[in-house]
Structure 1
Amino acid sequence: MSSKKRKYNEIYMQYGFTVITESGEEKPQCVLCNKVLSNDSMRPTKLKQHLQNVHPQNKDKDKSFFERRNKALTMMRLDVFGESFKRNNKLVEASFLVALEIAKQKKPHTIGETLIKPCALEMADVVLGKKKLGAVSLSNNTIQRRIKDLSDDIKSQVVQQIKTAPFGLFAFQLDESTDISSCAQLMVFAKYVCDDAFKEEFLFCSPLETTTKAADVLEKVSTFFASENLEWKNLAGCCTDGAPAMLGCYSGFQASVKKQARRIKVVHCMLHRQALASKTLPESLGKVLHQMILIVNFIKAGALTSRLFKTFCEDMDSDYQVLLYHTQTRWLSKGNVTRRVFELRRELKEFCKLKNR
Protein backbone atom coordinates (compact mmCIF):
# COMPACT_ATOMS: atom_id res chain seq x y z
CA MET A 1 0.00 0.00 0.00
CA SER A 2 1.45 3.35 -1.02
CA SER A 3 2.04 5.99 1.63
CA LYS A 4 -0.18 9.05 1.82
CA LYS A 5 0.94 11.98 -0.32
CA ARG A 6 0.73 15.20 1.66
CA LYS A 7 -0.36 18.46 0.02
CA TYR A 8 1.05 21.94 0.56
CA ASN A 9 -0.99 24.48 2.52
CA GLU A 10 -0.55 28.25 2.31
CA ILE A 11 -0.27 28.47 6.11
CA TYR A 12 3.12 26.71 5.85
CA MET A 13 4.57 30.01 4.62
CA GLN A 14 4.48 31.30 8.21
CA TYR A 15 7.10 28.65 9.00
CA GLY A 16 9.26 29.79 6.05
CA PHE A 17 8.39 27.03 3.58
CA THR A 18 7.24 27.14 -0.02
CA VAL A 19 6.63 24.15 -2.29
CA ILE A 20 8.26 22.59 -5.35
CA THR A 21 7.02 19.67 -7.44
CA GLU A 22 9.24 16.75 -8.41
CA SER A 23 7.82 13.85 -10.45
CA GLY A 24 4.30 14.88 -9.49
CA GLU A 25 5.15 14.93 -5.76
CA GLU A 26 5.05 18.13 -3.70
CA LYS A 27 7.97 18.79 -1.38
CA PRO A 28 8.51 21.67 1.10
CA GLN A 29 11.45 23.99 0.46
CA CYS A 30 12.86 26.40 3.05
CA VAL A 31 13.02 29.96 1.72
CA LEU A 32 15.94 30.77 4.06
CA CYS A 33 18.44 27.97 3.40
CA ASN A 34 16.84 26.59 0.18
CA LYS A 35 16.83 23.07 1.62
CA VAL A 36 14.20 20.70 0.21
CA LEU A 37 12.59 18.27 2.69
CA SER A 38 10.72 15.08 1.97
CA ASN A 39 6.99 14.92 1.34
CA ASP A 40 6.54 13.28 4.74
CA SER A 41 7.88 16.47 6.35
CA MET A 42 4.94 18.45 4.96
CA ARG A 43 3.39 18.91 8.39
CA PRO A 44 3.40 21.97 10.69
CA THR A 45 5.31 20.35 13.55
CA LYS A 46 8.30 19.32 11.41
CA LEU A 47 8.36 22.58 9.49
CA LYS A 48 8.26 24.59 12.71
CA GLN A 49 10.98 22.36 14.19
CA HIS A 50 13.23 23.06 11.19
CA LEU A 51 12.69 26.82 11.58
CA GLN A 52 13.47 26.80 15.32
CA ASN A 53 16.52 24.53 15.09
CA VAL A 54 18.16 25.76 11.90
CA HIS A 55 17.05 29.42 11.84
CA PRO A 56 16.37 30.41 15.46
CA GLN A 57 17.08 34.08 14.72
CA ASN A 58 14.09 34.16 12.35
CA LYS A 59 11.58 32.13 14.31
CA ASP A 60 9.65 35.26 15.38
CA LYS A 61 9.44 36.77 11.90
CA ASP A 62 6.01 37.38 10.41
CA LYS A 63 4.61 35.83 7.25
CA SER A 64 5.41 38.86 5.08
CA PHE A 65 9.12 38.39 5.78
CA PHE A 66 9.05 34.83 4.43
CA GLU A 67 6.96 35.91 1.44
CA ARG A 68 9.67 38.41 0.47
CA ARG A 69 12.31 35.71 0.74
CA ASN A 70 10.14 33.41 -1.35
CA LYS A 71 9.90 36.05 -4.06
CA ALA A 72 13.68 36.32 -4.16
CA LEU A 73 13.92 32.53 -4.21
CA THR A 74 11.74 32.21 -7.30
CA MET A 75 13.88 34.77 -9.12
CA MET A 76 16.98 32.62 -8.46
CA ARG A 77 15.53 29.64 -10.44
CA LEU A 78 16.61 26.95 -7.96
CA ASP A 79 16.55 23.27 -8.80
CA VAL A 80 15.12 20.43 -6.71
CA PHE A 81 18.33 20.19 -4.70
CA GLY A 82 18.20 23.84 -3.66
CA GLU A 83 21.17 24.81 -5.81
CA SER A 84 21.05 27.63 -8.34
CA PHE A 85 21.91 27.02 -11.96
CA LYS A 86 25.47 28.05 -12.78
CA ARG A 87 25.18 28.57 -16.52
CA ASN A 88 24.48 32.31 -16.25
CA ASN A 89 27.40 33.09 -13.93
CA LYS A 90 29.62 34.24 -16.80
CA LEU A 91 26.94 36.64 -18.03
CA VAL A 92 26.57 38.17 -14.58
CA GLU A 93 30.36 38.41 -14.22
CA ALA A 94 30.60 40.20 -17.57
CA SER A 95 27.88 42.62 -16.50
CA PHE A 96 29.80 43.44 -13.31
CA LEU A 97 33.04 44.01 -15.24
CA VAL A 98 31.35 46.46 -17.60
CA ALA A 99 29.67 48.21 -14.66
CA LEU A 100 33.08 48.60 -13.00
CA GLU A 101 34.58 50.23 -16.10
CA ILE A 102 31.59 52.58 -16.45
CA ALA A 103 32.01 53.63 -12.82
CA LYS A 104 35.76 54.19 -13.27
CA GLN A 105 35.20 56.40 -16.32
CA LYS A 106 32.29 58.25 -14.62
CA LYS A 107 30.05 57.69 -17.63
CA PRO A 108 26.21 57.68 -17.62
CA HIS A 109 24.72 54.32 -16.70
CA THR A 110 22.75 54.22 -19.96
CA ILE A 111 25.95 53.99 -22.00
CA GLY A 112 26.13 50.26 -21.31
CA GLU A 113 22.89 49.51 -23.16
CA THR A 114 23.05 52.26 -25.78
CA LEU A 115 26.73 52.04 -26.83
CA ILE A 116 28.82 49.29 -25.23
CA LYS A 117 26.44 46.39 -25.78
CA PRO A 118 25.63 47.20 -29.45
CA CYS A 119 29.35 47.59 -30.21
CA ALA A 120 30.18 44.34 -28.42
CA LEU A 121 27.49 42.51 -30.39
CA GLU A 122 28.82 43.85 -33.69
CA MET A 123 32.41 42.90 -32.81
CA ALA A 124 31.35 39.40 -31.73
CA ASP A 125 29.32 38.97 -34.91
CA VAL A 126 32.23 40.05 -37.14
CA VAL A 127 34.98 38.15 -35.32
CA LEU A 128 33.15 35.04 -34.09
CA GLY A 129 30.19 34.97 -36.44
CA LYS A 130 27.85 34.48 -33.48
CA LYS A 131 25.92 36.85 -31.29
CA LYS A 132 26.29 35.29 -27.85
CA LEU A 133 26.57 38.54 -25.93
CA GLY A 134 22.92 39.52 -26.20
CA ALA A 135 22.14 37.88 -22.85
CA VAL A 136 24.52 40.16 -20.93
CA SER A 137 22.33 42.61 -19.02
CA LEU A 138 23.61 46.20 -19.34
CA SER A 139 20.47 48.24 -18.78
CA ASN A 140 20.47 51.49 -16.84
CA ASN A 141 18.96 49.91 -13.72
CA THR A 142 21.27 46.89 -13.92
CA ILE A 143 24.42 49.02 -14.18
CA GLN A 144 23.22 51.19 -11.31
CA ARG A 145 22.58 48.10 -9.20
CA ARG A 146 25.92 46.54 -10.16
CA ILE A 147 27.85 49.70 -9.22
CA LYS A 148 26.03 49.84 -5.89
CA ASP A 149 26.88 46.20 -5.22
CA LEU A 150 30.54 46.85 -6.05
CA SER A 151 30.57 49.90 -3.79
CA ASP A 152 28.97 48.00 -0.91
CA ASP A 153 31.47 45.18 -1.32
CA ILE A 154 34.44 47.57 -1.23
CA LYS A 155 33.01 49.31 1.82
CA SER A 156 32.54 46.02 3.64
CA GLN A 157 36.14 45.04 2.86
CA VAL A 158 37.49 48.34 4.17
CA VAL A 159 35.37 48.12 7.34
CA GLN A 160 36.52 44.54 7.91
CA GLN A 161 40.17 45.56 7.48
CA ILE A 162 39.66 48.36 10.00
CA LYS A 163 38.15 45.95 12.52
CA THR A 164 41.05 43.49 12.10
CA ALA A 165 43.77 46.17 12.29
CA PRO A 166 46.30 45.82 15.15
CA PHE A 167 44.55 46.78 18.39
CA GLY A 168 41.58 47.83 16.23
CA LEU A 169 42.97 51.37 15.97
CA PHE A 170 42.36 53.63 13.01
CA ALA A 171 42.26 57.32 12.08
CA PHE A 172 40.13 59.30 9.68
CA GLN A 173 40.27 62.52 7.72
CA LEU A 174 37.13 64.34 6.70
CA ASP A 175 36.20 67.42 4.75
CA GLU A 176 32.94 69.12 3.87
CA SER A 177 32.67 70.92 0.55
CA THR A 178 29.91 72.21 -1.72
CA ASP A 179 29.90 70.93 -5.29
CA ILE A 180 28.88 72.77 -8.45
CA SER A 181 25.20 71.94 -7.88
CA SER A 182 25.27 73.60 -4.41
CA CYS A 183 25.05 70.23 -2.65
CA ALA A 184 27.12 69.96 0.54
CA GLN A 185 29.03 66.67 0.62
CA LEU A 186 30.86 65.13 3.57
CA MET A 187 33.78 62.91 2.51
CA VAL A 188 35.61 60.71 5.00
CA PHE A 189 38.87 58.80 4.46
CA ALA A 190 40.22 56.16 6.84
CA LYS A 191 43.83 55.30 7.59
CA TYR A 192 44.84 52.10 9.34
CA VAL A 193 47.45 49.34 9.42
CA CYS A 194 46.93 46.37 7.10
CA ASP A 195 49.52 43.69 6.31
CA ASP A 196 52.23 45.56 8.26
CA ALA A 197 51.76 48.71 6.17
CA PHE A 198 49.73 51.89 6.45
CA LYS A 199 46.73 51.90 4.19
CA GLU A 200 44.47 54.83 3.31
CA GLU A 201 41.05 54.18 1.80
CA PHE A 202 37.89 56.13 1.04
CA LEU A 203 35.39 55.32 3.79
CA PHE A 204 32.09 56.99 2.87
CA CYS A 205 30.47 60.07 1.37
CA SER A 206 27.20 61.49 2.61
CA PRO A 207 25.23 64.64 1.66
CA LEU A 208 24.46 67.29 4.26
CA GLU A 209 20.86 68.12 3.45
CA THR A 210 20.49 71.37 5.42
CA THR A 211 23.18 73.02 7.55
CA THR A 212 26.85 72.07 7.68
CA LYS A 213 27.41 72.60 11.40
CA ALA A 214 29.59 70.40 13.58
CA ALA A 215 26.50 68.66 14.96
CA ASP A 216 25.42 67.67 11.43
CA VAL A 217 28.87 66.28 10.60
CA LEU A 218 29.02 64.38 13.90
CA GLU A 219 25.58 62.89 13.28
CA LYS A 220 26.62 61.55 9.86
CA VAL A 221 29.82 60.01 11.25
CA SER A 222 28.02 58.55 14.29
CA THR A 223 25.33 57.02 12.08
CA PHE A 224 27.96 55.36 9.90
CA PHE A 225 29.85 54.06 12.94
CA ALA A 226 26.66 52.60 14.38
CA SER A 227 25.63 50.92 11.12
CA GLU A 228 29.06 49.32 10.64
CA ASN A 229 29.69 48.51 14.34
CA LEU A 230 32.76 50.74 14.58
CA GLU A 231 33.63 51.95 18.07
CA TRP A 232 34.73 55.46 18.95
CA LYS A 233 37.22 54.14 21.51
CA ASN A 234 39.29 52.65 18.67
CA LEU A 235 39.64 56.02 16.94
CA ALA A 236 43.25 57.19 17.30
CA GLY A 237 43.39 60.30 15.11
CA CYS A 238 41.23 62.90 13.42
CA CYS A 239 42.33 65.28 10.66
CA THR A 240 40.20 68.23 9.52
CA ASP A 241 40.56 71.60 7.81
CA GLY A 242 40.54 74.93 9.59
CA ALA A 243 36.83 75.72 9.27
CA PRO A 244 35.19 77.16 12.43
CA ALA A 245 32.73 74.26 12.45
CA MET A 246 35.68 71.90 12.82
CA LEU A 247 37.96 73.80 15.20
CA GLY A 248 35.44 75.34 17.63
CA CYS A 249 36.74 74.72 21.15
CA TYR A 250 33.26 74.18 22.63
CA SER A 251 30.87 73.06 19.91
CA GLY A 252 33.28 72.27 17.05
CA PHE A 253 33.56 68.84 15.53
CA GLN A 254 36.96 68.12 17.04
CA ALA A 255 35.71 69.04 20.51
CA SER A 256 32.71 66.74 20.07
CA VAL A 257 34.92 63.88 18.90
CA LYS A 258 37.18 64.29 21.95
CA LYS A 259 34.15 63.64 24.14
CA GLN A 260 33.64 60.32 22.37
CA ALA A 261 37.33 59.31 22.18
CA ARG A 262 39.37 61.07 24.86
CA ARG A 263 42.76 59.75 23.72
CA ILE A 264 42.33 60.96 20.16
CA LYS A 265 44.94 63.15 18.46
CA VAL A 266 43.52 65.93 16.29
CA VAL A 267 45.60 67.61 13.58
CA HIS A 268 45.11 70.25 10.92
CA CYS A 269 45.29 68.96 7.35
CA MET A 270 48.74 69.67 5.85
CA LEU A 271 47.30 70.52 2.42
CA HIS A 272 45.04 73.14 3.97
CA ARG A 273 48.01 74.57 5.88
CA GLN A 274 50.03 74.91 2.69
CA ALA A 275 47.02 76.39 0.89
CA LEU A 276 46.75 79.05 3.59
CA ALA A 277 50.50 79.70 3.42
CA SER A 278 50.33 80.15 -0.37
CA LYS A 279 47.88 83.04 0.08
CA THR A 280 50.45 85.08 2.03
CA LEU A 281 53.38 85.03 -0.38
CA PRO A 282 56.27 87.51 -0.01
CA GLU A 283 55.84 90.68 -2.04
CA SER A 284 58.49 89.72 -4.61
CA LEU A 285 56.95 86.28 -5.26
CA GLY A 286 53.43 87.64 -5.23
CA LYS A 287 54.32 90.22 -7.86
CA VAL A 288 55.76 87.56 -10.17
CA LEU A 289 52.69 85.37 -9.71
CA HIS A 290 50.39 88.30 -10.45
CA GLN A 291 52.24 89.14 -13.68
CA MET A 292 52.16 85.50 -14.73
CA ILE A 293 48.38 85.34 -14.22
CA LEU A 294 47.93 88.47 -16.35
CA ILE A 295 49.90 86.86 -19.18
CA VAL A 296 47.91 83.63 -19.02
CA ASN A 297 44.58 85.50 -18.91
CA PHE A 298 45.59 87.67 -21.89
CA ILE A 299 46.15 84.61 -24.07
CA LYS A 300 43.45 82.29 -22.72
CA ALA A 301 40.65 84.86 -22.40
CA GLY A 302 40.13 85.26 -26.16
CA ALA A 303 39.42 82.28 -28.40
CA LEU A 304 41.19 83.89 -31.37
CA THR A 305 44.28 84.78 -29.32
CA SER A 306 44.40 81.27 -27.89
CA ARG A 307 44.25 79.70 -31.37
CA LEU A 308 46.93 82.05 -32.71
CA PHE A 309 49.24 81.21 -29.79
CA LYS A 310 48.71 77.48 -30.37
CA THR A 311 49.63 77.86 -34.06
CA PHE A 312 52.63 80.01 -33.10
CA CYS A 313 53.92 77.30 -30.73
CA GLU A 314 53.44 74.61 -33.38
CA ASP A 315 55.48 76.66 -35.87
CA MET A 316 58.28 76.96 -33.30
CA ASP A 317 58.21 73.19 -32.62
CA SER A 318 57.47 73.73 -28.96
CA ASP A 319 56.86 70.84 -26.58
CA TYR A 320 53.52 72.39 -25.54
CA GLN A 321 50.99 74.51 -27.42
CA VAL A 322 48.61 75.72 -24.69
CA LEU A 323 48.81 77.39 -21.30
CA LEU A 324 47.05 76.17 -18.17
CA TYR A 325 44.57 77.80 -15.84
CA HIS A 326 44.95 77.65 -12.08
CA THR A 327 42.21 76.95 -9.53
CA GLN A 328 41.99 78.84 -6.27
CA THR A 329 40.58 75.82 -4.45
CA ARG A 330 43.56 73.71 -5.56
CA TRP A 331 46.67 75.69 -4.75
CA LEU A 332 48.99 73.11 -6.33
CA SER A 333 47.59 74.11 -9.74
CA LYS A 334 49.53 77.38 -9.46
CA GLY A 335 52.73 75.39 -9.57
CA ASN A 336 51.60 73.63 -12.74
CA VAL A 337 50.72 76.96 -14.36
CA THR A 338 54.08 78.45 -13.37
CA ARG A 339 55.95 75.46 -14.78
CA ARG A 340 54.11 75.66 -18.10
CA VAL A 341 54.79 79.41 -18.40
CA PHE A 342 58.48 78.81 -17.71
CA GLU A 343 58.66 76.07 -20.35
CA LEU A 344 57.04 78.40 -22.92
CA ARG A 345 58.87 81.55 -21.83
CA ARG A 346 60.59 82.09 -25.21
CA GLU A 347 57.38 81.58 -27.14
CA LEU A 348 55.49 83.93 -24.80
CA LYS A 349 58.12 86.64 -25.18
CA GLU A 350 58.03 86.54 -28.99
CA PHE A 351 54.23 86.30 -29.09
CA CYS A 352 53.79 89.29 -26.80
CA LYS A 353 56.15 91.30 -28.99
CA LEU A 354 54.03 90.50 -32.02
CA LYS A 355 50.95 91.67 -30.12
CA ASN A 356 52.73 94.85 -28.84
CA ARG A 357 52.15 93.83 -25.23
Structure 2
Amino acid sequence: MKPPKLRRHLETKHNEYSSKSVEVLQTKKREMRRKQTLLEKIATGFINEKATFASCEVSLLTAKTGSPRTIGEELLLPATKVTSGTMHRNKAAKYLNLISLSNNTVKRRIEEMAENVKSQLIIRGRQSQYYSLQLDESTDVANHAELIAFIRYDFGGKIYEDRLFCYSLPTNATYEAIFNGLDSF
Protein backbone atom coordinates (compact mmCIF):
# COMPACT_ATOMS: atom_id res chain seq x y z
CA MET A 1 0.00 0.00 0.00
CA LYS A 2 1.05 3.55 -0.54
CA PRO A 3 2.18 5.54 2.53
CA PRO A 4 -0.56 8.22 2.22
CA LYS A 5 -3.23 5.52 2.17
CA LEU A 6 -1.70 3.81 5.18
CA ARG A 7 -1.55 7.13 7.06
CA ARG A 8 -5.19 7.89 6.21
CA HIS A 9 -6.24 4.38 7.38
CA LEU A 10 -4.33 4.85 10.63
CA GLU A 11 -5.92 8.25 11.29
CA THR A 12 -9.48 7.20 10.43
CA LYS A 13 -9.65 3.65 11.81
CA HIS A 14 -7.04 3.67 14.60
CA ASN A 15 -6.86 7.29 15.69
CA GLU A 16 -5.65 6.42 19.20
CA TYR A 17 -2.38 5.08 17.69
CA SER A 18 -1.75 7.91 15.21
CA SER A 19 0.24 9.94 17.75
CA LYS A 20 2.20 6.95 19.09
CA SER A 21 5.75 6.12 18.05
CA VAL A 22 6.69 3.34 15.65
CA GLU A 23 8.14 1.26 18.51
CA VAL A 24 4.74 1.09 20.22
CA LEU A 25 3.14 -0.15 17.01
CA GLN A 26 5.88 -2.74 16.51
CA THR A 27 5.37 -3.94 20.09
CA LYS A 28 1.64 -4.29 19.39
CA LYS A 29 2.45 -6.24 16.23
CA ARG A 30 4.75 -8.64 18.14
CA GLU A 31 2.08 -9.07 20.82
CA MET A 32 -0.55 -9.88 18.24
CA ARG A 33 1.71 -12.43 16.50
CA ARG A 34 2.54 -14.07 19.83
CA LYS A 35 -1.17 -14.39 20.68
CA GLN A 36 -1.88 -15.71 17.20
CA THR A 37 0.87 -18.31 17.56
CA LEU A 38 -0.48 -19.34 20.96
CA LEU A 39 -3.98 -19.74 19.56
CA GLU A 40 -2.64 -21.81 16.66
CA LYS A 41 -0.78 -24.08 19.09
CA ILE A 42 -3.90 -24.54 21.21
CA ALA A 43 -6.04 -25.22 18.14
CA THR A 44 -3.48 -27.67 16.74
CA GLY A 45 -3.30 -29.52 20.07
CA PHE A 46 -7.08 -29.72 20.19
CA ILE A 47 -7.25 -31.02 16.62
CA ASN A 48 -4.50 -33.59 17.28
CA GLU A 49 -6.37 -34.75 20.37
CA LYS A 50 -9.56 -35.15 18.32
CA ALA A 51 -7.61 -37.03 15.61
CA THR A 52 -6.21 -39.44 18.21
CA PHE A 53 -9.69 -40.00 19.64
CA ALA A 54 -11.06 -40.65 16.13
CA SER A 55 -8.24 -43.12 15.50
CA CYS A 56 -9.12 -44.98 18.71
CA GLU A 57 -12.81 -45.08 17.79
CA VAL A 58 -12.09 -46.48 14.31
CA SER A 59 -9.68 -49.03 15.85
CA LEU A 60 -12.45 -50.14 18.21
CA LEU A 61 -14.88 -50.53 15.32
CA THR A 62 -12.25 -52.48 13.38
CA ALA A 63 -11.73 -54.82 16.33
CA LYS A 64 -15.48 -55.31 16.88
CA THR A 65 -16.14 -56.19 13.24
CA GLY A 66 -13.17 -58.54 13.05
CA SER A 67 -12.01 -56.82 9.88
CA PRO A 68 -8.33 -56.77 8.91
CA ARG A 69 -6.41 -54.00 10.66
CA THR A 70 -5.49 -52.44 7.31
CA ILE A 71 -9.11 -51.71 6.39
CA GLY A 72 -8.93 -48.30 8.04
CA GLU A 73 -5.95 -47.15 6.00
CA GLU A 74 -6.98 -48.87 2.77
CA LEU A 75 -10.74 -48.27 2.72
CA LEU A 76 -12.23 -46.22 5.54
CA LEU A 77 -9.94 -43.19 5.46
CA PRO A 78 -9.98 -42.80 1.64
CA ALA A 79 -13.75 -43.26 1.58
CA THR A 80 -14.16 -40.67 4.32
CA LYS A 81 -11.92 -38.23 2.43
CA VAL A 82 -13.98 -38.67 -0.75
CA THR A 83 -17.24 -38.25 1.14
CA SER A 84 -15.96 -35.25 3.07
CA GLY A 85 -14.53 -33.67 -0.07
CA THR A 86 -17.86 -34.05 -1.81
CA MET A 87 -19.98 -32.81 1.08
CA HIS A 88 -17.72 -30.11 2.53
CA ARG A 89 -15.60 -29.10 -0.49
CA ASN A 90 -12.31 -30.41 0.93
CA LYS A 91 -12.38 -28.21 4.06
CA ALA A 92 -12.28 -31.20 6.38
CA ALA A 93 -9.97 -33.33 4.22
CA LYS A 94 -6.85 -31.68 5.64
CA TYR A 95 -7.95 -32.65 9.15
CA LEU A 96 -8.63 -36.24 8.06
CA ASN A 97 -4.95 -36.56 7.15
CA LEU A 98 -4.16 -36.21 10.87
CA ILE A 99 -6.02 -39.43 11.73
CA SER A 100 -3.54 -42.28 11.94
CA LEU A 101 -5.01 -45.59 10.81
CA SER A 102 -1.88 -47.49 9.82
CA ASN A 103 -1.67 -51.20 10.49
CA ASN A 104 0.76 -50.76 13.41
CA THR A 105 -1.25 -47.93 15.00
CA VAL A 106 -4.53 -49.86 14.84
CA LYS A 107 -2.81 -52.98 16.19
CA ARG A 108 -1.27 -51.02 19.08
CA ARG A 109 -4.59 -49.32 19.94
CA ILE A 110 -6.48 -52.65 19.89
CA GLU A 111 -3.84 -54.20 22.16
CA GLU A 112 -4.06 -51.22 24.54
CA MET A 113 -7.86 -51.51 24.66
CA ALA A 114 -7.63 -55.28 25.25
CA GLU A 115 -5.14 -54.73 28.07
CA ASN A 116 -7.46 -52.12 29.60
CA VAL A 117 -10.44 -54.50 29.45
CA LYS A 118 -8.34 -57.28 30.96
CA SER A 119 -7.17 -55.10 33.86
CA GLN A 120 -10.74 -53.91 34.51
CA LEU A 121 -11.92 -57.53 34.54
CA ILE A 122 -9.21 -58.52 37.02
CA ILE A 123 -10.08 -55.55 39.25
CA ARG A 124 -13.77 -56.50 39.17
CA GLY A 125 -12.92 -60.10 40.06
CA ARG A 126 -10.72 -59.02 42.97
CA GLN A 127 -13.34 -56.58 44.28
CA SER A 128 -16.04 -59.21 44.15
CA GLN A 129 -16.76 -61.03 47.38
CA TYR A 130 -17.17 -64.32 45.48
CA TYR A 131 -15.97 -65.43 42.10
CA SER A 132 -15.58 -68.69 40.26
CA LEU A 133 -13.27 -69.85 37.50
CA GLN A 134 -14.24 -72.33 34.84
CA LEU A 135 -11.58 -73.87 32.61
CA ASP A 136 -12.25 -75.51 29.29
CA GLU A 137 -9.74 -77.29 27.12
CA SER A 138 -10.80 -77.22 23.51
CA THR A 139 -9.36 -77.44 20.02
CA ASP A 140 -9.50 -74.81 17.32
CA VAL A 141 -10.07 -75.26 13.59
CA ALA A 142 -6.41 -76.14 13.01
CA ASN A 143 -6.67 -78.88 15.67
CA HIS A 144 -4.48 -77.02 18.21
CA ALA A 145 -5.28 -77.35 21.92
CA GLU A 146 -6.59 -74.16 23.58
CA LEU A 147 -7.18 -73.42 27.26
CA ILE A 148 -10.09 -71.03 27.83
CA ALA A 149 -10.82 -69.60 31.27
CA PHE A 150 -14.14 -68.01 32.21
CA ILE A 151 -14.74 -65.98 35.34
CA ARG A 152 -18.11 -65.50 37.01
CA TYR A 153 -18.28 -62.72 39.59
CA ASP A 154 -20.61 -60.39 41.45
CA PHE A 155 -20.36 -56.71 40.53
CA GLY A 156 -22.87 -54.07 41.56
CA GLY A 157 -25.41 -56.65 42.70
CA LYS A 158 -25.40 -58.51 39.37
CA ILE A 159 -23.68 -61.70 38.32
CA TYR A 160 -21.40 -61.37 35.29
CA GLU A 161 -19.64 -64.03 33.28
CA ASP A 162 -16.70 -63.10 31.04
CA ARG A 163 -13.90 -64.84 29.22
CA LEU A 164 -10.75 -64.25 31.25
CA PHE A 165 -8.13 -65.60 28.84
CA CYS A 166 -7.43 -68.03 26.04
CA TYR A 167 -4.01 -69.69 25.78
CA SER A 168 -2.56 -72.15 23.30
CA LEU A 169 -1.48 -75.36 24.96
CA PRO A 170 1.36 -77.65 23.94
CA THR A 171 0.50 -80.57 21.67
CA ASN A 172 -0.10 -82.89 24.62
CA ALA A 173 -2.52 -81.06 26.91
CA THR A 174 -1.78 -82.62 30.28
CA TYR A 175 -3.13 -81.53 33.64
CA GLU A 176 0.27 -80.02 34.34
CA ALA A 177 0.15 -77.92 31.13
CA ILE A 178 -3.36 -76.71 32.02
CA PHE A 179 -2.26 -75.84 35.57
CA ASN A 180 0.83 -74.01 34.28
CA GLY A 181 -1.33 -72.04 31.82
CA LEU A 182 -3.63 -70.93 34.63
CA ASP A 183 -0.74 -70.31 37.00
CA SER A 184 1.16 -68.17 34.46
CA PHE A 185 -1.90 -65.95 34.03
Considering the TM-score relative to the shorter chain, is it more than 0.5?
Answer: yes
State the structure with bigger RCO (CA 8 A, min sep 6), 1 or 2: 2
Query: What is the match of residue 137 of structure 2?
Result: 176
Query: What is the match of residue 172 of structure 2?
Result: 211
**In the comparison of the two structures, how many residue pairs are matched?**
138
Letter in 2 for 1:98: V
Deviation at 1:183, TM superposition (A): 2.5
Query: What is the match of residue 122 of structure 1?
Result: 82
Query: What is the match of residue 143 of structure 1?
Result: 106
Q: What pairs up with 1:25-174 in 2 under 5 angstroms?
A: 87-129=47-89, 130=91, 131=93, 132-166=95-129, 169-174=130-135
Q: What pairs up with 1:190-269 in 2 under 5 angstroms?
A: 190-224=151-185
Give the Cα–Cα distance (whole angstroms) in 2 for the partners of residues 207 and 120 of structure 1. 39
Give the Cα–Cα distance (whole angstroms) in 2 for the partners of residues 96 and 111 of structure 1. 14
Deviation at 1:152, TM superposition (A): 0.3
Residues 119, 145 of structure 1: alpha-carbon distance in 2 compared, 3 angstrom cutoff: same
Instruction: Tell whether the 8 Å contact from 2:148 to 2:167 is kept in structure 1 after alignment.
Output: yes
Residues 87, 209 of structure 1: alpha-carbon distance in 2 compared, 3 angstrom cutoff: farther
Letter in 2 for 1:194: F
Letter in 2 for 1:120: T
Residues 209, 140 of structure 1: alpha-carbon distance in 2 compared, 3 angstrom cutoff: farther
Instruction: Tell whether the 8 Å contact from 2:170 to 2:177 is kept in structure 1 after alignment.
Output: no
Give the Cα–Cα distance (whole angstroms) in 2 for the partners of residues 174 and 218 of structure 1. 10
Deviation at 1:86, TM superposition (A): 5.2
Give per-residue Cα distances to partners, 1:68-121, cap 9 Å, x unaligned.
Answer: xxxxxxxxxxxxxxxxx5542211111111111111111111111111111111
Query: What is the match of residue 149 of structure 2?
Result: 188
Instruction: Tell whether the 8 Å contact from 2:137 to 2:146 is kept in structure 1 after alignment.
Output: yes
Secondary structure at the aligned position of 2:59 is classed as: helix
Give the Cα–Cα distance (whole angstroms) in 2 for the partners of residues 92 and 206 of structure 1. 31
Query: What is the match of residue 321 of structure 1?
Result: none
Query: What is the match of residue 237 of structure 1?
Result: none
Letter in 2 for 1:94: A
Query: What is the match of residue 30 of structure 2?
Result: none
Please identify which structure carries the higher helix content: 2
Q: Which structure 1 residue ranges, 5 or more long, are not aligned?
A: 1-84, 225-357
Structural RMSD (CA): 1.4
Give the Cα–Cα distance (whole angstroms) in 2 for the partners of residues 149 and 98 of structure 1. 14
Give the Cα–Cα distance (whole angstroms) in 2 for the partners of residues 197 and 205 of structure 1. 24
Give the Cα–Cα distance (whole angstroms) in 1 for the partners of residues 167 and 100 of structure 2. 29
Give the Cα–Cα distance (whole angstroms) in 1 for the partners of residues 58 and 145 of structure 2. 30
Give per-residue Cα distances to partners, 1:49-74, cap 9 Å, x unaligned.
Answer: xxxxxxxxxxxxxxxxxxxxxxxxxx
Q: Which structure 2 residue ranges, 5 or more long, are not aligned?
A: 1-44
Deviation at 1:214, TM superposition (A): 1.2
